[in-house]
Copies of this chain bind each other. A is one copy, B any other.
Amino acid sequence: MLHRLVINEEFDRDAAITPQIYRILKERIIKNDLPPGSRLSEPEVAQQYDISRQPVRETFIKLAEEGLVIVRPQRKTLVTKIDLPTVLQSRFIREAVEADIVALLAQAGDPALIRELRRQLANQSEVAQVSRPDFINEDQRFHRTLAEAAGKDVAWKFLERINSQMDRVRFLSLRQFPAEQLVEEHSRVVDQIERGDASTAALAMRAHLKRLIGDLPQIAGEHADFFDRYDQKLIDDA
Q: Please choose the segment from A58-66, A129-137, A220-228 that sits at the chain B interface, where 4 or more of its residues have CB less than 8 A away.
A: A58-66
Chain B residues contacting A177 (CB-CB under 8 Å) are none
Q: Report copies per complex.
A: 2
Stretch of A27-35, A96-104, A113-121, A207-215 that contacts chain B: A96-104
Q: Which of A6-14, A138-146, A151-159, A179-187 contacts B (4 or more CB under 8 A)?
A: A151-159
Interface residues on A, range: 20 to 34
Cβ of A73: which chain B residues have Cβ within 8 Å of it? 16
Question: How far apart sit A152 and B89, CA to CA, in the bound complex (Å)?
Answer: 6
User: Is B61 touching A155 in the complex (CB atoms < 8 A)?
Assistant: no
> Which residues of chain A have a CB within 8 Å of any CB of chain B?
16, 58, 61-62, 65, 73, 83, 85-86, 89-90, 92-93, 95-97, 99-100, 151-155, 158, 162, 237
